[in-house]
Amino acid sequence: MERATVRPMIKTVQQHIMEAQRKRFPGASGEFSWLLSAVTLATKIISDHVRRAGLVDILGATSVTNIQGETVQKLDIIANETIAGCLGYRSSVGIMVSEEDDEPRILQEPGPAAKYIVLFDPLDGSSNIDVNVSIGTIFSILQKREDVDCSDVLGHILQPGYEQIAAGYVIYSSSTVMAYTTGDGVHMFTLDPGIGAFRLTRENLRMPEDGGYYSVNEAYYAQFPEGVQRYLQWVKSGESDTLGMRYIGSLVADFHRTLVKGGVFLYPPTTKAPKGKLRLLYEANPLAFIAEQAGGAATDGSQRVLDKKPTALHERTPLVIGSSKAVEQVLRFWSP
Ligand code: AHG
Ligand code: MN
Ligand code: MN
């Protein structure tokens, strides 16, 4: 008698990663998907906190100012400790770098087992937490370098973005969505609260080449380089094919819209922040990896973001990221 076959209706991010690993590394031990499961667990916990913000005491600021010079929000701390706690149970993670930690956390000396370095912005868009606007988590994964001594912690961390082995983000919004890449396309998963799992919703996503929105905080117009000011005059002249302007103020949300709808996001240098505001290692690099994997581009105005050689843990960079054509259009006016 023929056996009924039931095709699984869902594919979780763990299953997706395992399949991707088997396809690319047949002998893969599954340690990478085990590592990624720490990120998915942590972001499910953070998502649960975000959903209940206002009902439990997680809104508002602490009295702490972080290394970025920013007032730390309660949810920044909760997110940071949640991710660090979940990653702490993964023996494959040697070093963790967080926007909220002055220094790297050494879990184990980078070695044959502890070969991964996880860098993250635990809670992106902190200024939007208290006004119920989309926020997110951004992560980047590197491998320790073979040619660097175990004791040279920064030597393992300060690698250019093209060395990332994986990158992703989670956006906490009308739904909780995770996007990630391991260099084999961009894939999206939506958290199904009914089963507590991220379910595959989009595979091999491509950024639209035309249309979409331009996205920049025009409050700083007077502080922007002259070329950026000329680009903004042009894009508002009606000659561009962007549909309009959107600016949410959470990088993850502005990037997610750009990835799905097309267009370009800019955070140029300003007189107040001559190197830009966004951080290279755990904001610009992971999103640049995703943008390029989806057919888009990311530059600091002078070079490809992924080619930049980091010199400091919390280094900032100007960022122009989005559809290749839209990014090129910005560079036609501004090439520092
Ligand atoms: P974070 O909350 O992790 O510090 O990041 C905030 C960043 C980024 O999310 C956003 O694009 C940018 O700050 C907004 O800056 P402005 O308020 O200066 O526009
Ligand atoms: Mn951020
Ligand atoms: Mn942050």
Residue whose C-alpha is closest to residue 125's, from 135, 115, 139, 140: 135
Residue whose C-alpha is closest to residue 261's, from 228, 212, 296: 212
Q: Which residues line ligand 1 (CB under 6 A)?
A: 70, 99, 121, 124-127, 217, 249-251, 254, 277
Same domain, 59 and 169: yes
Same domain, 251 and 127: no
Same domain, 227 and 163: no
Same domain, 290 and 172: no
Cα separation, 317 vs 310, whole angstroms: 10
> Is residue 217 domain-resident?
yes
Same domain, 217 and 186: no
Write down the pLDDT at residue 4. 75
**CATH code, domain carrying 56:** 3.30.540.10
Cα-based angle 310, 316, 320 (whole degrees, multiple of 5) = 100
> Is residue 208 domain-resident?
no
> Is residue 172 domain-resident?
yes
> Is residue 7 domain-resident?
no
Same domain, 31 and 147: yes
Which strands sit side by side in the sheet containing 213-215, from one edge to the other? 244-245, 213-215, 263-267, 319-323, 296-299
Is 288:278 a contact under the CB 8 Å cutoff?
A: no
How many domains does one find in the chain? 2
Ligand 2 geometric centre to CA of 283 (Å): 6
Cα separation, 248 vs 166, whole angstroms: 26
Ligand 2 geometric centre to CA of 138 (Å): 8
Ligand 3 geometric centre to CA of 5 (Å): 46
Write down the pLDDT at residue 28. 66
With b meaning 16 or more CB within 10 Å and e meaning fewer, what string describes 51-89? eebeeeebeebeeeebeeeeebbbbbbbbbebbbebbee
Who's near 119: CB < 8 A, 6+ residues apart?
96, 97, 98, 139, 140, 141, 142, 157, 281, 282, 286
Please, what are the averages of pLDDT over each run of 10 residues along the chain (336 residues)?
Answer: 72 87 73 88 95 76 76 86 92 93 86 88 92 96 90 94 97 97 96 94 96 96 98 90 90 98 97 97 98 98 98 98 97 93
Which of 50, 277, 280, 281 gets mutated to test ligand 1 (max ligand atoms within 8 A of its CB)?
A: 277
> Is residue 41 domain-resident?
yes
Write down the pLDDT at residue 124. 97
Write down the pLDDT at residue 7. 63
Who's near 228: CB < 8 A, 6+ residues apart?
266, 268, 330, 333, 334
Distances (CA, A) of 14 to 35, 205, 219, 301: 10, 18, 42, 36
Same domain, 264 and 283: yes
Rounded to the nearest 10 degrees, how much is the dihedral formed by the CA atoms of 120, 126, 130, 135?
-50
Write down the pLDDT at residue 6. 67
> Is residue 4 domain-resident?
no
> Is residue 238 domain-resident?
yes
Domain boundary among 202, 236, 259: 202
pTM score: 0.94
List, as ranges, residues with CB under 5 A of the ion ligand 3.
99, 121, 123-124
Same domain, 283 and 232: yes
Write down the pLDDT at residue 27. 66
Write down the pLDDT at residue 146. 87
DSSP three-state, residue 179: strand
